[in-house]
Structure 1
Amino acid sequence: MYHEFFGLKEPAFSIAVNPRYLFMSDQHREALAHLLYGIQNGGFVMLTGEVGTGKTTIVRCLLEQLPDNTDIAIILNPTANAPELLSTICDELGVSYIDDELTVKNLTDALNVFLLNNHRKGRKTVLLIDEAQLLRVPVLEQIRLLTNLETTTEKLLQIMLVGQPELKKLLARPALRQLSQRITARFHLEALTPAETKAYIHHRLKIAGLPDHQRPFSDNIIREIHSFSGGIPRLINVLCERLLLGAYAQNQHVIDKRIFAAAAKEVAGTATQEEEKIAAARTSWHALLVGVLALVMAGVWFLLPDDPSNPALPTAEAQAQIAPSITSSSAISASSAAVVVEALPPASSVVAMATRDMVAAQLVLFDYLAITIDDRMNPCLSSVTANYSCEKARLSSWDELKDVNRPGLMTLATDDKKWVYLLVVGLSENYLLVIENGVEKIVPWSDVAPVWTGDFVYVWSRPQGFDKSLQLGDKSDLVTWVAEQFARLDQQPAPLTRQFFTEKLKKRVELFQRTQNILPDGVIGAQTLRRLNEVLGVDKLLVPLDEQKIPALLESQVTDSQGL
């Protein structure tokens, strides 16, 4: 998509949290210093900021700098009552308690015993609560009581509250004045300044590999971006993504005011009445055209005599050329026209775009991925020696296909119960991007789902020596390799560990898993490794399709198939 057009190695403005794109402004560094000071001195520390200002970035940096002798409990859903929250804290820290006696006293006593034992072992304990503005007043008061346990020199539990600006208002209530007085460090993240916005955009483009001769954003456009986004990094990402896509669609390497206006309007979710009228007229015209074509074709079938020797009767090849254009058009037509089209004999379908030769299909997949293999008679077997692995997954839904996020071969079932293989290279909510005879084509998901067996073969870069999951206490060269990948991800000069799977590496894995919506168990399995490959840009991923542009692309696809 657009990143290749601009010479980027990967999309530069994905909203997914990626430590490689970490941008630390002066205020981010100051916030980190405040929080580190507060953690070291005990009690409460608080970080607030609007949505998308970089609170997660600060938290990640903070966790990376905590000492090895630190145990941390991270609470991501603080809407529970006091007993439920206390039991969750105990679960995070591995504190034993009696399930049948979930009272505040029993849970607090169990937690206090754990904190005392941790202190005797020379270990620190930290509680991090995200979205803390959702906490109820009684629960916050209970959390305050947890800090009452202390020695003559330090608190046994350090608590960090992270939340939106409403958290400051919450703690300003008279009922919580004791807690507010115990906050030893607090920092509120503001939006980026115009200068920081410029540095932020250039930083992300540089990390994504922007060539020196490319400069898609002028200073004037960056000022417009800052004005529109208010300096909120997440909004900057969304807008810049749309701007680059818009420039790509217009075949322009520099964003102008016209492209900016269209992208800003799209991001803001607004449209003028005139544009809505034009869009409605275009949809009605297209539906009318498809309906007329369908009626004409239906008339042809009924009026012509049923005589194969009649030269006026379309041949099977001609029927196969006509039918796909009507079928594709129905995907973007009005429902009434689609009903007429569905009544036509289905001379062609998505199955016809696939191949029956499994080896040939695998070779096309490897060619698409630009992976060189030695044995072209057994592509998947040969890939093992090239540090790539073929995986055959049994998927049951679109969501599972999206989670794999790799180009691959779908196994489809023909009417005569034979298997064929379709190369899928892109995905959106309702469409697939497939390759047929070297040509990319868009097909509706609804056409593929009924004939898909659920089998999907994809290729990913599988680390050497990975034959089972890695977990705390394991020792191997693969542990070193994984730690090195996280160091690369975090732009750190040295890995967290070598050979031994330590507690610190486990915490880093858990944090990564949380950002990737994976069960945060600290175990390094195939799913975690694949996601690590994704954020490091190792594997080629499915192309994300822009659904708003698909109708126009389908119309162009239909026109091409008709030779108009």
Structure 2
Amino acid sequence: MYHQYFGLKEAPFSIAVNPRYLFMSARHRDALAHLLYGVAGSGGFILLTGEVGTGKTTINRCLLEQLPDSTDIAIILNPALNALELLASACDELGIDYDPDNTSLKTLTDKLQRFLLDNHARGRKTVLLIDEAQHLDFEVLEQIRLLTNLETNSEKLLQIILIGQPELAALLQRPELRQLNQRITARYNLEPLNLAETRAYIRHRLQVAGLAPDRELFPDAVVRRIHRRTRGIPRLINVLCDRVLLGAYGRNKARADRAMVEVAAREVMGERPAAKVWPWLLLPLCLLLIAGLLLWFYWPQQPVLSEHSSPAAVAAVSERHNLPVVTLQQGEQEEAVSALAAAGPPALNRSWLLPPRQAGEYLWALHSAITVPAEVCSTQVQEGLLCYRERVQTWDALQAYDRPLVLELVTEERFSAAALLIAVQGQEAVLASSQGLVNVPLTHLAKLWQGEFYLLWRPPEGFAKPLSIGDKSPVVAQVAQMLAELDGQERPLATTGFSATLETRVRLFQQANHLEADGVVGLQTLLKLNEQLGIDPTRAQAKTLLLGRAND
């Protein structure tokens, strides 16, 4: 078929679930994390909903692969059962013997309870997973709720996962099901892919199928059209992309175009071509755009400051150059205006070039209100803060640290200096200075910087080395609690021992934040956790804080 024409080893957009083509978007990883928390919890219901084709089956398969060996699971794929048939199916899945000629709700429930108690005594968990649960009727749902009454003094004996379409969530809102709804300990609605995820999804499947790195079958304009037609639903993306490639093959085209998407949409989805906007309707918009550009280029410039400039003029120029107005004591206004006027454009403003000690003090003040110690960047924890020093080669490497950093510089006169980097925006660095925040071209700053920088962060108490599966220490409990807070969960995935479930959650977190997904909790993972939990200030928080202080 067409896959050979495009140099592929196989058809990349089959709707069959193939583990080799597994694509986990950020929302898929979040969904899996919620299920893992639910299974590791003390029992109850876990709810996963999503539109048809959004990837619920993918999540199910990932969950089954991540469950520890000490878990027994019963999977019900056909929910069109009555209460008695459901219990019998659960017993069949778990290997529980019963007399098929002498069954009742009581006998099956009793046998299931004995199995659950024996499993609990052996340290094993039992999970009941029901797919397409939106088709369950009230009687069956009530029987499922009663199964969660099987418990010990500390936890439920059976964990139940309900998976279905969005109407399942609406069904559980009915008053007669409020008792079941209140027992749901984790719930997640799987949304379709956004445009960026759709682009990555298509590229991923083509690469797995063997597409050469230098070939492009779906240009960006085509991907946008596919996302619009499929609304980001993976199954529809597969169907549409398959038909588009088939159309390109039939026309001897090297890649797809938007016209092929429209034809394919009509064939497989019943979509009609988008209505065209008459060109003359766009004329007023073009005229407005031209007028806006003229105003932009010919708008009067701000006045030049002098020592006689008013405070209002100083405020205007400061705002134009992204320099917050600093509140000054009486008698300092003239001196400040002269300095600001002499500084000129931000590219020539040297107020951001700080003595090393002063830059460290500024950084410390963003993390703590406690007096700055004698040594800002210490290898020992001081007031809960630890310094981390590193050397990188590119600005891109610095972007991985979403926090304020001190860049260690050497001036053209060969003196030691420093700059407090708040953010990198395009081709400019946002630096803190005695006058507020200034934008400095990276080319200007790079002349003074050889790649050395340091940052401050708050490590978990007692953290001394990276944590991995099998480790047992109070630090493991702190990390598990941090992840639970991030996910909005009451119970962490571990207490003192680094479990396989916790390792899976760590890997998901690392993947979502573009870190090496090795399941080991090291410095980079902890830094990212601190940023997302607000333990350490991010770039945006530091910028807001500096602006607030300047305006106070």
Using the size of structure 1 for normalisation, the TM-score is: 0.47
The alignment's TM-score, normalised by the length of structure 2, stands at 0.48
Structure of higher CA gyration radius:
2
